[in-house]
Structure 1
Amino acid sequence: MRHDLTGFDQVVLPEFELPWTAGLHPDVQATHLALVDWSESHGLLRDAAERERYAGYRFAWLAGRCFPRADRVFAQWAADFMLWFFLFDDVTADRVESNERATDMVRRLTAMLDTVDLDATGDRPLHGETAWLDLCHRLRELAPADENYQRWANAMRMWFLSLALQVFDQLCTKGVDPRSYTAYRQYSAGLKPPFAVVDLANAGPITSEEFHAPEARLLERYACNVVAWSNDVLSSPVEVHEPSTRSLVTVLKDAGPGRSWQDAVDLAVARTHAEIARFADLAAVVRRTAGPQMSGWIDGCQDWMAGTIAWSLRDSARYGRTAAAPLSPAPGTVG
């Protein structure tokens, strides 16, 4: 659905106010260089134009913002995962505007589901499939118990399946109401997989009871909404031009006849701030009786909320705000 963008060029994006500051992993530069080598070994970036474009996205900085206290091995896995995740999403799910593209998407989703389920690639691996298997194997080795790995693997399965729902919505419906959008955005944003292992990057694994407790599920829901909706706002100057892309901004615009683009943006920001407040209030209650591991998981959720916004505004050229960073920075370059 192509939107009437009249007045969008006059929109001012309000600032997001969070009670937490964004950190940065101290080894982000080394992580970045190793990420380049890893992507080359798996042939992820397929030509010079793609290498140049993804150079400016600086996914090592995204991992470094979201996991600032992780050990070096986990930080590297996280950076490699970020590149694979965004590239797979860009190639597979974005701009699916025809039945042919949808068919290709189903083929790719099926291959990745098989890889995580069967612990092997197909006879003729698709683009990104060997890298995906490598990420699965490395996290399985990092996880202290199989349960920790399975939390992530199950969340990834849900993400793959949610992309199909997202494309069904894009191809088969003229619009979606805000409630429906926020429901499937919980999964299509792809945030549940990293939140499933955020404890491993902080104070250590939380128990099954802690992970599945209603309070933890609510905290995750609030954090997912904050990251997804703030991304919807910050990416809107680029993505609003894509007819197949829906965001909280476009959904709110469509839901209010006569609503201006500025009003839609302001409403999205207000909803995001309300989720930030809900998270902060509940987190304060949970921390009163939480052990160090649970408190560390909460810290990790806060890192994600502050870190993704900082990455979008300060580090990455993905949404057109900074110049591209070189893939191989000169010795002594500071990120």
Structure 2
Amino acid sequence: MPTLSEARLKALGSTLQQAKIDYRSLTPMADTGLAHDHVWIHRDADDWVARLPKQSQMNLPPEENLAYQAACYERASQGGHTPRLQGVLPPSESLPRGALLVEAIRGRLAELPQDLPAIADTLASLHRQPLPRHRPPLLAPKSPWQAMVEEVSLQAKWLDDAQLPSSIHLRIQQELDLLPSTLDDAAATLISFDTHPGNFLVKDQGRAILVDLEKCRYGLPGIDLAHTSLYTSTTWDLNSQAVLSLDEVIAFYRRWQTAMAATPDIVLPSVNTLIACRRATWLWSLTWCAKWRAQHLQRQDSERRGEDWSAELTDAAVIDHVRDRVEHYLSLPIIDHVHSELQCLQTAL
């Protein structure tokens, strides 16, 4: 059930009217995530969706958070596989974090493995876009690999506060030690950084649409490929869970390589770089799990300043699901499973 309060829904309606945006009705959508409430805006012409932030996963204050997300949608939509940005409602007393208005997408949830080819094509539509001269407000580090390693390392500091068994803490540290310090062919592209299968809707013609765009940046495409196909991603969403075989993962990578190669002058990353990105993305997920484990029982940030993983912000059933997944991914059998897959992929790709 959605947790959006009646007061917040009325505030959205009033704000839309003040902005002279016509609509027929508003329907709260189910609460399925930790970062946003969603409201379907029924209109006479084309429907929209309002994304009302609960927090900023980029740890940005409200106005900067909206500007960042708006840039994500504006740039990603040029590839034709994401919703179009329709407007921004700035933060106000009634909507302290504001709202983003985007094109509503009618489609079914992605199903794995059959929708992996369409998802690979969607990712390629992001990754083969020409790099713009002006990249802010999106993150665009000079060394995208070093930035990824630093982000993982920063989250890894939460391992000490997550109250994990010493054996699990040690295994994660062993994996962290395997990350290379440099990558020779780590060229940046536009990436989503949040491509788990639950973020895709598939339209009638079989085209996959990536609907959640909050963390885009100029980084390594191997991160998106990993985030789509890792065990910690494909088993995250209740409605699209699947455990991929090694052959299915390989076929997914090769489909993406084919789609990228259709654009002249594209230089594809090496196998070593793809595997390094896969390990780093997995470790980003594991250290995020540790961070959430340490933070989710804290009270919500009453000042709504930035990042906030408080369980108070989200439906209890969603929190129970996240807790189950976090404990599962931080278990030795699953850590060993993903480690073994990485070793097999190294020789198979």
Q: If each structure's helix is expressed as a fraction of its own residues, which one has the higher value? A: 1
Check whether TM > 0.5.
no
Q: If each structure's strand is expressed as a fraction of its own residues, which one has the higher value? A: 2
Structure showing greater relative contact order (alpha-carbon pairs closer than 8 Å, 6 or more residues apart) = 1
TM-score scaled by length of structure 1: 0.29
